């Protein structure tokens, strides 16, 4: 085989491998995992500005979002914008914020992810419609969330935030 034939064969093999890798990456990104950048302080201290996270898109294929999950979803008023918030109340539940405490169906709910001294405004009570969720940022005083723009339909939820992968000193699971 000539030098040109070897080069041509090696080039074809490389291009085939590259195309397969790109197709696999596209499939994985489209259906399984996605990477997101955190642009705001609305989820402090769980997520900080410039954190980068991995979201599993398959998390809710067979299960429903649970209270406390940190999710990425399409903003209901502009679906081309993505938000990251915590699921606070589930379909059919009544939510109330009173004296900086969360009540679901008149039962006090523990929120260990919030600072103990955090004070925020009263809200509600409101009932979450079926098929929708009530979302809030952990930085309650600096978060545009369901208190402002309403509920999030399940089909707008893209996936569950799982891991902070950057910066390395914050590497870990999202709780």
Active site residues: 42, 85
As a whole number of angstroms, the distance between CA 20 and CA 166 comes to 27
Q: Cα–Cα distance between 120 and 136 in angstroms, integer?
A: 12
Strand partners, 72: 84, 159
The C-alpha atoms of residue 63 and residue 171 are separated, in whole angstroms, by 26
Q: Considering only CA atoms, which of 150, 108, 143, 107 is closest in space to residue 126?
A: 150
CB–CB of 73/135 below 8 Å? yes
Nearest to 139 by CA among 156, 118, 116: 118
The β-bridge relationship of strands 132-136 and 172-173 is unpaired
């Amino acid at each position: 085989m000539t030098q040109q034939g070897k080069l041509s064969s090696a080039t074809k093999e490389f291009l085939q491998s590259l195309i397969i890798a790109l197709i696999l990456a596209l499939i994985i990104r489209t259906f399984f995992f996605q990477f997101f950048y955190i642009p705001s302080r609305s989820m402090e201290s769980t997520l900080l500005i410039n954190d980068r996270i991995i979201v599993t898109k398959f998390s809710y294929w067979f299960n429903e979002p649970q209270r406390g999950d940190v999710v990425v979803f399409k903003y209901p008023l502009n679906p081309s914008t993505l938000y990251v918030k915590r699921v606070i109340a589930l379909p059919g539940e009544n939510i109330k914020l009173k004296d900086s405490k969360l009540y679901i169906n008149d039962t006090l709910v523990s929120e260990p992810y919030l600072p103990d001294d955090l004070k925020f405004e009263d809200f509600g009570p409101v009932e979450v419609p079926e098929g929708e969720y009530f979302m809030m940022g952990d930085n309650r005083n600096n978060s545009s969330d369901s208190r402002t723009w309403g509920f999030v339909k399940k089909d707008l939820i893209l996936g569950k935030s799982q891991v902070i992968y950057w910066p390395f000193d914050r590497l870990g699971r999202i709780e």
